[in-house]
Amino acid sequence: MAKKEELEPCVRCFKMPDENDKYCTDCGAPLQNRCFDAHGPLKKGCSFVNAKTAAYCAKCGEPTLFNLHGLVTPAYPTASRPNVWLGKFL
Ligand SMILES: [Zn+2]
Ligand SMILES: [Zn+2]
């Protein structure tokens, strides 16, 4: 396939985005289900692009953008995950 990234409609309102859009210009939904784990002073960040149905990042376990925007419903919304940071620094 010579075609580059194929555009997919917004998961919330089905508006077709422009080629370089990262968020829907109609409803603000993220167009890619990226990992929410951002770059910070102590962490590298992840930004792994997950499947559209993923509530948590397949790579690092942080919530995905779709999860935070309410576009996917986690199977275990109140599940608590082990606190990696406390385990590392205490
Ligand atoms: Zn939208
Ligand atoms: Zn991640």
Give the distance (Å) from ligand 2 centre to CA of residue 35. Answer: 4
pTM for the whole structure = 0.74
CA distance 5 to 21: 12
Position 75 pLDDT exceeds 60: yes
Smallest CA-to-CA distance from 63 within 33, 39, 28, 22 is with: 33
Give the distance (Å) from ligand 1 centre to CA of residue 20. Answer: 15
Give the distance (Å) from ligand 1 centre to CA of residue 15. Answer: 6
- Give the pLDDT band of residue 80 (cuts 50, 70, 90): low
pLDDT at site 44: 83
Smallest CA-to-CA distance from 14 within 3, 6, 25 is with: 25
Where do the structural domains in the chain lie, given as residue ranges? Answer: 7-71
- Give the ligand at the shortest distance from the Cα of 45: 2
Please provide the DSSP assignment of 19-47 as one string: TT-SB-TTT--BSS-BB-----SS-----
Give the distance (Å) from ligand 2 centre to CA of residue 24. Answer: 22
pLDDT (tens digit per residue) in 6-52: 788 999 999 999 999 999 999 999 999 999 887 788 878 898 999 99
